[in-house]
Structures are given as structure tokens and as C-alpha cells.
Amino acid sequence: MPSLLEDPAGRRHPCARRRLRTLRRGAGVTTLRVESPVGPLFISEEGGAITRVSWRGDGAGEETELLVEARRQLRAYFDGTRQDFDLPLSVSGSAFQRQVCDAMAAIPFGETRSYGDIAAELGVPAQAVGQACGGNPIPVIIPCHRVLGATNLGGFSGEGGVETKVALLRHEGAAGLLI
């Protein structure tokens, strides 16, 4: 099956409903600030696709239709009325980075996988998966918080580090895994 983040036809993946949009040359980046229980999130769009979610940024700019929809979906996620996202995404980086993002996107709400699980699926070392997870440009929407170490929580590159990872897992009802 082709990568859901590399599929130029925009076909939907059965586990994670996302579409790829090819970036248009010359299209500017627009960012919107969204308040959340884990701090303010800055969502960036370029060329009709979400390209970044960050805890730091500048939310100045035009409220595009896509950014308004992303805000709506994030609010619904944090309100507990949404478990997945249906937004066009564009992940920059290597083909391997996109493969790992695909694997993370396929992890259902409230479930977790280990770095080793994803590594075995992709036929690569777990450490490489951990590094790619740490480079996830679209956290929360691509749920890197659902990936754990074999014997610990692993890391989290978002603001607040592992505490934010724990908060997201608790929100999804996966807190039993943390005890």
C-alpha cells in the first residue's frame, strides 16, 4: 500500500484519514494560534496542507479555511468528541521520516506502540525510529505521543517534554499503560 503521506492521488488510508497535497511553489506559510490544555499550539499551513504544529510561534496571519478547520478539529479532539484528524498534511524530510509518520498516524486513539514495534514493521533499528519520532513536524495530529520505549515512556520533543506526552496519553485513556 502506498504511503498515505506520499500518495499524490490523495487516497485515504484505512487507519488514518489524511490526504497529501503537493505544495505549490511560491505559496506562503500561514500560522494560526490554537489554545489547548497542553499549551498554545501554532498550526502552519503552506500550499493547502498542514506542515507544522509547534508550541512556539507567531499566530499572526490570515485565518485560512484549512487553519480554521484544523482549529475546529483540535478543539474537538481536546473536548473529547474527536479521535482522529481528517486534514491534508505535508511532511518534509526524508522518505524514511515520512514512513515513520505514516506508521505513527496509523496508531489508533488510546493505543500505543513501541519504537521497536514500528522498527520491526519498517525493518529498521528502533533508535532510528526514535529519532524520526523526535523530528515529527506535526505532533498531536500525527500522534508521536503514542509511541513508547520498550521499558519507559521514551521522549517527547514538544513543549513540556514527557509531561505533555503523559497528558496526551491520559486524555486518550491510555494512562493505564503508564502505571
Cα 97 from Cα 109, distance rounded (Å)? 21
List, for residues 95-148, the tens digit of each pLDDT value: 999 999 999 999 999 999 999 999 999 999 999 999 999 999 999 999 999 999
pLDDT attached to residue 161: 85
**56, 88, 120: which is the final residue of a domain?**
88
pLDDT attached to residue 98: 95
Instruction: State the CATH number of the domain containing residue 104.
Output: 1.10.10.10
pLDDT attached to residue 176: 64
Asked if the model's pLDDT at residue 153 lies above 90, the reply is no
- Point out the catalytic residue in the list 15, 101, 133, 144: 144
List, for residues 60-102, the tens digit of each pLDDT value: 677 899 999 999 999 999 999 999 999 999 998 899 999 999 9
Cα 25 from Cα 151, distance rounded (Å)? 44
Does 11 map to a domain? no
Asked if the model's pLDDT at residue 45 lies above 50, the reply is yes
Count of domains observed in the chain = 2
Host H or E run for residue 20: strand 19-20
Is 101 annotated as catalytic?
Answer: no
Cβ within 8 Å of residue 120, ≥6 positions away: none
Predicted model pTM: 0.82
Does 14 map to a domain? no
The proportion of the chain whose per-residue pLDDT surpasses 90, expressed as a percent, equals 67
What is the span of the domain harbouring residue 73?
A: 19-88
